[in-house]
């Protein structure tokens, strides 16, 4: 009988270093070093997420597992050899930058391969029936990484590498990727833009990052036409707007596609206090979005859902959002209460603003249907 939920984590992924920065820019010039010394893509939000799983008692009710790094063969299904060779060479030295805002230190290649390995094992174990669903706490993240270039803190395309490995090794067919990271999932989109076996869906803040991708008119190319879907929401979108976009746009598209597996690109940076975005979600928003995906998965793919961690930089709120997702996947509710929830609910958009945002969702749905 298939077991419940697995959680994939490795302490070594938290040792990945992106150096000093102010927001996403390196220290220097007019930018003074922060007192915390931090780049937003630090280990702390992820470490606190895992710590809350431990302290809440949820972790002991899951199978918490690590994984082997992905192999060169795994990587070559997505990334060209020239990119991997350059990455490995820099990693063997002092590290460097392998694309826009894609920094790493010595040994970064090995840690990135391990991060992708967590995603691969999570997808493999669910597809092979060992677990009903899973969460991979991958770091560094992957959804911005292009085949030939790192980008936006992402060094390897974790989800694509995992999906392609399981396609090759276990005959996995149609896959839907639902990316609710607040930034457009341009890397995953690029990998699958001309294919019809993987539906890529990104719900994100419009013109946040990257500023020149993520339009509704980008629907794929060639045989992939119609198999890429972007849902750009205005800054300030809150709980009800996201749920409406999920119900009215995202889930119907996935249902029509009828995948054999749903992968969530689980960025938690649409939370209300994230330093790199301006959306207004809170822990229960992610709980409810997860529940909606699980209901659909029960309908179309025997409940098979894998969430792979992407962004999320608010150390205060990411742990509660992550816990809410894992609680929902596992069906186990802990005693943890998000102490910020009452404040965040009070700060949601007013009725007038919400009406405007829901009208935008309706317009997006109509625009997408007409393409």
* Residues annotated as catalytic (active site), given as ranges: 144
C-beta of residue 233 within 8 angstroms of C-beta of residue 181? no
Tokens of 126: 């669910």
| Exposure letters 49-77 (e unless 16+ CB within 10 A, then b) | bbebbeebebbeebebbebebbeeebbeb
Residue 368: left (phi > 0), alpha (psi -120 to 50), or beta? alpha
| Exposure letters 288-322 (e unless 16+ CB within 10 A, then b) | bbbebbbebbeebbebbbbbbbbbbbbbebbbbbb
Distance in angstroms (rounded) separating the CA atoms of residues 12 and 16: 7
Tokens of 368: 């997408």
Tokens of 17: 């270093």
CA distances, 112 to each of 47, 55, 72, 83, 157 (Å):
17, 27, 12, 13, 9
C-beta of residue 188 within 8 angstroms of C-beta of residue 181? no
Residue holding tokens 């939370």? 271
- Preceding amide of 140 cis, omega within 30: yes
The helix or strand, by DSSP H or E, that contains position 222, with its residue range, turns out to be none
Distance in angstroms (rounded) separating the CA atoms of residues 179 and 164: 17
Distance in angstroms (rounded) separating the CA atoms of residues 261 and 127: 7
Distance in angstroms (rounded) separating the CA atoms of residues 94 and 74: 25
């Amino acid at each position: 009988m298939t077991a419940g939920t697995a959680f994939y984590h490795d302490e070594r992924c938290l040792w990945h270093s992106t150096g000093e920065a102010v927001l996403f820019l390196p220290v220097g010039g007019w930018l003074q070093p922060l007192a915390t010394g931090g780049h937003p893509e630090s280990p702390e939000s992820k470490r606190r997420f895992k710590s809350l799983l431990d302290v809440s008692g949820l972790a002991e009710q899951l199978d918490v597992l690590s994984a082997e790094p992905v192999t060169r063969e795994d990587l070559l299904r997505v990334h060209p050899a020239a990119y991997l060779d350059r990455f490995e060479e820099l990693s063997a030295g002092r590290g460097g930058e392998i694309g826009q805002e894609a920094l790493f230190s010595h040994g970064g290649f090995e840690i990135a391969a391990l991060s992708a390995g967590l995603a691969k094992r999570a997808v493999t174990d669910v597809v092979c029936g060992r677990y009903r669903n899973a969460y991979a706490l991958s770091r560094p993240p992957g959804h911005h990484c292009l085949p030939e270039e790192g980008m936006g803190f992402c060094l390897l395309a974790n989800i694509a590498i995992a999906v392609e490995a399981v396609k090759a090794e276990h005959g996995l067919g149609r896959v839907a990727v639902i990316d609710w990271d607040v930034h457009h999932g341009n890397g995953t989109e690029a990998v699958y833009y001309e294919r019809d076996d993987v539906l890529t869906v990104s719900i994100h803040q419009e013109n946040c990052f990257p500023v020149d991708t993520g339009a509704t008119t980008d629907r794929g190319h060639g045989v992939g036409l119609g198999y890429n879907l972007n849902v750009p929401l205005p800054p300030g979108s809150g709980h009800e707007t996201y749920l409406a976009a999920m119900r009215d746009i995202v889930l119907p598209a996935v249902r029509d596609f009828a995948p054999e597996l749903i992968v969530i690109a689980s960025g938690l940076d649409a939370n209300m206090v994230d330093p790199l975005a301006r959306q207004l979600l809170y822990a229960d928003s992610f709980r409810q979005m997860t529940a909606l995906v699980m209901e659909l998965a029960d309908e179309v793919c025997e409940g098979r859902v894998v969430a792979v961690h992407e962004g999320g930089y608010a150390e205060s709120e990411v742990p509660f959002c992550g816990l809410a997702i894992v609680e929902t996947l596992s069906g186990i509710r802990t005693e943890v209460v998000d102490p910020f929830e009452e404040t965040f609910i009070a700060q949601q958009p007013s009725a007038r603003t919400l009406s405007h945002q829901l009208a935008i969702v309706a317009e997006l749905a109509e625009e997408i249907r007409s393409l």
